[in-house]
Amino acid sequence: MYSFLTTENWPDYELVDSGNFEKLERFGKYYVARPEPQAIWDKHLPEQEWQRLAQAVFKRDKGSSEKGQWQLKKGMPEQWYIDYKYKDMSLSFRLGLSSFKHVGLFPEQDSNWRFIYDTTRQLKTKPPKVLNMFAYTGAATLAAKAAGADVTHLDSVKQVNYWARDNMEASRLDNIRWVVEDAMKFARREVKRGNTYNGIILDPPAYGRGPNGEKWQLEEELNEMIKLCQELLDKTDYFLLINLYSIGFSAMVLDNLMHLTFKDQVKHPEMGELYLHDRGERKLPLGTFFRFTSVGK
């Protein structure tokens, strides 16, 4: 099934407007404007309204495609918290203004967090073991933990893991296993040890470095990583979710990889695109996903 999934009914988040390679978002009570390469259309709101609303504006450094500086209005904090609720899950996320335009959260992942929470609760294994690789600040980790999972959170950047731990504490959760390591090295070692997981979550970047300089190049490494995940995934009680954004792969690439690698394990598959919609009804595409589970729908 091919789906277009968006974020809805989240009081603490809104994509206000998008266009002219920018997006204007509200996180809690604060409005943030930052670059968005896929917003090639015209803005819905006039420029004066953007200037009035935006309390933090990201400006790229000259000659850089990513790094830059935030321009803050008076009263705009560099860090703040927002809340997220779904069914019995209540989470809090610490946001911050990074030098690479990110704020520590990807709101378009809302539908994936719901999938993780619902599916984890339906798994027969109690508690189910869930592995979140390339886990960043841990929203997906917290969704699995809130559903009762024994979670391993893996990211190669130590400071990001500290950020995720802050989110865990703010969400009144505990007992998450934190791992700072290269994802490929960790997966290979877990396969050798014979370890398996009921749930595997992947959100790999197009390019990255491990803590010891290990190179990650998505188009070169993804096939092997998926094969390792096939060995790590429990064979009877499971789910797998993968999300891609930065390289622009079609969801059909993931469809091919999953069916070729997991074969009959691919049950109840869903693939498609994640997007956000603004007040002008523009739809901003923000990645492709593929997910499947042994849990009956």
Tens digits of per-residue pLDDT, 63-120?
776 789 999 999 999 999 999 999 999 999 999 999 889 999 999 999 999 999 999 9
Domain definitions of the chain by residue range: 106-293
User: What is the spatial distance between Cα 233 and Cα 197, in angstroms, rounded to a whole number?
Assistant: 5
pLDDT of 61 above 90: no
Q: What confidence tier does 296 reach under pLDDT thresholds 50, 70, 90?
A: confident
Q: What percent of the chain has pLDDT over 90?
A: 86
Q: What is the mean pLDDT of residues 26-55?
A: 97
Q: What confidence tier does 248 reach under pLDDT thresholds 50, 70, 90?
A: confident
DSSP single-letter state for residue 124:
S
pLDDT of 215 above 90: no
Question: Can you name the residues that pair with 85 across neighbouring β-strands?
Answer: 90
C-alpha closest to that of 219 among 248, 261, 258: 248
Burial pattern 27-50, b for ≥16 Cβ within 10 A else e, equals: beebbbbbebeebeeebbbeeeeb
The predicted pLDDT at position 100 comes to: 86
The CATH number corresponding to 106-293 among 3.40.50.150, 3.40.630.30, 3.40.50.300, 3.90.1300.10 equals 3.40.50.150
DSSP single-letter state for residue 176:
P
Average pLDDT of the chain to the nearest whole number: 94
92 three-class SS: strand
At 145-161, the pLDDT tens digits run: 999 999 999 999 999 99
CB 186 within 8 A of CB 179: yes
Q: What is the mean pLDDT of residues 182-207?
A: 94
pTM of the model: 0.95
CB 177 within 8 A of CB 203: no
Q: What confidence tier does 297 reach under pLDDT thresholds 50, 70, 90?
A: low
pLDDT of 276 above 70: yes
At 167-180, the pLDDT tens digits run: 999 999 999 999 99
Query: Of 66-80, 169-183, 207-221, 245-259, which range is least confident?
Result: 207-221
